[in-house]
Amino acid sequence: MGTITFCYDSNVRTAYKVRLCPTPEQAAVLNRTFGCVRVVWNRTLAWRRARYHGECVKTNFTQANAYLTAMKAFDDLAWLNEVSSVPLHQAIRHQQVAFSNFFADRARHPRHKSRNGRQSAEYTRSGFRWRDGTLTLAKMNVPLAFVWSWPDVDPAALDPTTVTVSKDPCGRWYASLAMDVADPEQAPAAGAAVGVDLGVTDFAVTSDGEKIANPRHLARRERNLAHYQRRMARKQRGSANRGEARAKVARAHRKVAAARADFLHKTSTRLVRDHDLIVIEDLNVRGMVGNRPLAKAISDCGWGAFRRMLEYKTAKHGRRLIVVDRWFPSSKTCSACGHLLASLSLSARTWQCPSCGTRHDRDVNAAKNILAAGRAVSACGADVRHSGSSRVRSAVKQEPRPARAGAPVLRRGE
Ligand SMILES: [Zn+2]
């Protein structure tokens, strides 16, 4: 658990995730709300699907919202009126975003929500009251008890704009308090830039020659998880034993996720602290995950999460992140003279440039090229901060290729 900051519509927001201790009455209200959110999500999803396949029309936010109003009048769904309407509207809003992402080819098709997974409900300002560091949700008379784990932050001084209550499959309750932050904290200039090559053998290799290995304890926790998953598979469906086995899988899962998140946070924080400019390759994780054998290795590495952390942390601290095109031949180009090899086998860990004779470590050389490509983007300008993408000529290859600034740049120059 910790502070999470993320980038949202170019506003920097900070979120505090706290452990909740609801009373049995409050837990009942929340469970009922989760159920309603799930039903609203699933029914709206089914309705959209039917419209899309039957009438070939896409559903917009206004239409989906109107459908929610209609559902509340259905005889079998009258109980939707018993919970706060705010989380139900938020569910429609999130589904709309999920569909925009799907139609823009940025995400998978939104899925049915299961009662066995993580449950959540999001409250905007009209659905909760935050007063003197206490949180009261709509349809509740008393504040929710929670554990505050930041001794140097006074909760009474905060002004959350959104509260997301959730329950994980192990039955733990959380609330994530999100708030807008007016000004990013400017870190002192570090006077250094770095290129980062993400890999499978090592988690990452930097242009400074540092190899960041995947932590060993992660592999051990993953073996535990696999063990519990196999045990669960052998239990009969619907049996008490299976329920117990599922709880163990959920707990092992949470440990793997927490260990991975911890590693990614430490690594990204260090990179952002020590460098003014960070350049990474756009790996299109989603496309690569389609490749089965690589899929597990990649999703385990958490590259997508790592990139999002770099995005919001660079934005928060006034650093700069540049994402260079993934078709860029970073491995096969000599970072010393620019010579481009015709081919380089995946097993070749080192190679010697036939043109200038420099000996290269495969991954460090790739990271150096990534940094050079990023510097070229950085040098060509201030316009990168306004346009989402710009075509630039790279320093190392003779054809134009697109590059993107990964996050809004809050401060000019390095
Ligand atoms: Zn060379």
Ligand 1 centroid to 337 CA: how many Å? 4
Ligand 1 centroid to 323 CA: how many Å? 24
The neighbouring-strand residues paired with 121 are 165
Residue 103, burial from CB neighbour count under 10 angstroms (0-12, 13-18, 19+): exposed
Look up 180 and say whether it is catalytic.
Answer: no
Counts of helices then strands in the chain (DSSP H, E): 9, 17
Structure tokens that stand for 347 in this block: 């097993």
Q: Of 170, 196, 148, which is closest to residue 249 (Cα–Cα)?
A: 170
Say how far apart CA 195 and CA 278 lie, in whole Å.
6
Say how far apart CA 273 and CA 186 lie, in whole Å.
11
Q: Which residues touch 179 (CB under 8 Å, ≥6 apart)? A: 13, 14, 15, 158, 159, 160, 161
Choosing from 122, 222, 311, 363, the catalytic residue is: 363
Please tell me the pTM assigned to this model.
0.55
Ligand 1 centroid to 197 CA: how many Å? 19
Ligand 1 centroid to 330 CA: how many Å? 13
pLDDT at 400 (0 to 100): 34
pLDDT at 293 (0 to 100): 58
Look up 122 and say whether it is catalytic.
Answer: no
Alpha carbon of residue 135 to chain centroid: 26
pLDDT at 406 (0 to 100): 38
Q: Which CATH architecture has domain 193-214+261-379?
A: 2-Layer Sandwich (3.30)
Ligand 1 centroid to 207 CA: how many Å? 16
Give the side-chain half-sphere CA count within 13 A for 87: 31
Ligand 1 centroid to 210 CA: how many Å? 21
Ligand 1 centroid to 299 CA: how many Å? 34
pLDDT at 298 (0 to 100): 58
- Domain residue limits, the chain: 2-181, 193-214+261-379
**Tally of CB atoms within 10 A around 171:** 9
Look up 197 and say whether it is catalytic.
Answer: yes
Say how far apart CA 138 and CA 123 lie, in whole Å.
9
- Given a contact cutoff of 8 angstroms between Cβ atoms, the answer to whether 313 and 321 are in contact is no
Tokens 């050079």: give the residue.
372
Choosing from 197, 222, 276, 311, the catalytic residue is: 197
Ligand 1 centroid to 352 CA: how many Å? 8
Residues of the chain with pLDDT under 50: 1-11, 382-414
pLDDT at 412 (0 to 100): 31
Ligand 1 centroid to 334 CA: how many Å? 5
Choosing from 122, 222, 276, 281, the catalytic residue is: 281
The SS3 of residue 195 is: strand
Q: Of 73, 88, 72, which is closest to residue 35 (Cα–Cα)?
A: 88
- Given a contact cutoff of 8 angstroms between Cβ atoms, the answer to whether 350 and 359 are in contact is yes
Say how far apart CA 201 and CA 38 lie, in whole Å.
40
pLDDT at 27 (0 to 100): 96
